Structure 1
């Protein structure tokens, strides 16, 4: 396995490739994303263990969406079974993915508990998320404290599944890849923020022109979900170009590769 060091402009390419892959199979990829969201919603309704199970399955679900993108990018139709790819690659890798899920769950709980301890719940909302839901100071601090988890788990599910890397080792390699390709990752994130802002603003104004705030909100909801589905599609390309192995689907060489072994 080799780590590819890519130029900052590659972040733009990742966004472009994600959108192109999504447009190759828009119905399939949208449907798979909504299946994932529906699954999380159903699990969250279970008493006591619902939220824990949802968090446990985040790495596996991330891998499933990346595998679906690999199928679409290769000109194939991603079937619903691709969402459980993490559990179809043998007992050892399925167990490793569950270990990743357990680590993610513990980390997420710690971040949430720390945010609760640091910020009182009496503060008024400071902002709103992409769907207009108010975010108070505690929620914003919790999101900030989840940032290290995002870095650690950005590549780790794919490393475990496609490269057979041990769970803890995959977290280390994921963080190294994100920091070594920081310019590309920042460009990637900034580009997606711009896409969300520009498309969201355009559809919001269209909704306002068609019938006011209520129509704008009804238009924004599916728009944001489609953009999130496109974003999740582009994640596969950040992994594909950050690591190289002969058995990786659609593997392509990127200049400046450096061994992680």
Structure 2
């Protein structure tokens, strides 16, 4: 496995590839993303430990969605079973993904815990889905501070875990090492990732503006109310689809990688292979 340094403009290419691949199979991707979120939501309702268990499964679920993107980009129809591809490499690979998930859950718990020290846990309750947001909450200085602190603390977590699930799955990198390699890859390609993030911000702004213009043109707020959730679902599915391309272009296999893992007929090929 070797790290590729890509031009800054590649960040735009990743976002465009995610959007283009989504529209090749829009129903499949929308359904897969809904299943992705529904599965995590079902796990999250388990009393006491559900929220942590859902976080533990995030890396494996992300690998499944990335594999679905690879199949769609290759012209194949991604079946729902592709979401479980992370657990089809055998016990050793499964344990590695679950260990990575445990590290992710611990990182998120630490971020949310620090925010709770600032506002008494109100942002933590909102994050866990136990409390709805209100105008009074948004106007509260402590809540806003907790929200911004959590956002800033999540940035290094995102950097560590961006490529980590895919590195564990496709290259058999040990979980802790995958965090290091992920961070290095993102930092080495920081210009591409900054442009990637900016592109998605513009796309999100354009989608919101379109909903606003439709609402103003019809004079009916129902369009915004009804269209907001589907639009957010589609945007999130397109974004998740683009993650595969950022990983594919950041790493290339070497001669040893082809034999590093047992083959899986339903799995994606090694990036760049």
Q: TM-score, normalised by structure 2?
A: 0.85
Name the counterpart of 1:31.
31
Q: Report the alpha carbon displacement of residue 119 of structure 1 after superposing the two structures with TM.
A: 3.7
- Alpha-carbon offset, residue 192 of structure 1: 0.5
Q: Distance in 2 between matches of 1:164 and 1:126?
A: 47
TM-score by length of 1: 0.88
Report what 1:43 is aligned to.
43
1:146 Cα deviation (Å)? 1.4
Whether 1:125 and 2:138 are equivalent positions in the alignment is yes
Aligned to 2:157: 149
Structure 2: gaps spanning 5 or more residues: 123-135, 259-267
1:143 Cα deviation after fit: 2.4
Q: Is the 8 A contact 2:211 2:223 kept in 1?
A: no
How many residues align? The count is 246
Higher helix share: 2
1:160 — aligned with what? Answer: 168
Deviating 4+ runs (over 2 angstroms): 118-124, 135-141, 207-215, 246-253
Of 194, 200, 215, 1:186 maps to 194
1:235 and 2:237 aligned: no
CA distance in 2: counterparts of 1:23 and 1:249, whole angstroms = 22
CA contact (8 A) 1:15 1:188 kept: yes
**1:249 counterpart residue number:** 269
Where do 5+ consecutive residues of structure 1 fail to align?
Answer: 128-134, 254-261
Q: Are 1:225 and 2:229 matched, yes or no?
A: no
- In the TM superposition, what is the alpha-carbon distance from 1:118 to its structure 2 partner? 2.9
Change (3 A) 1:108 1:121: closer
**How far apart are residue 199 of structure 1 and its match?**
1.4
Alpha-carbon separation, structure 2, partners of 1:196 and 1:80: 27
- Taking only aligned residues, the RMSD between alpha carbons, in angstroms, comes to 2.0
1:172 aligns with 2:180: yes
Q: How far apart are residue 111 of structure 1 and its match?
A: 0.6
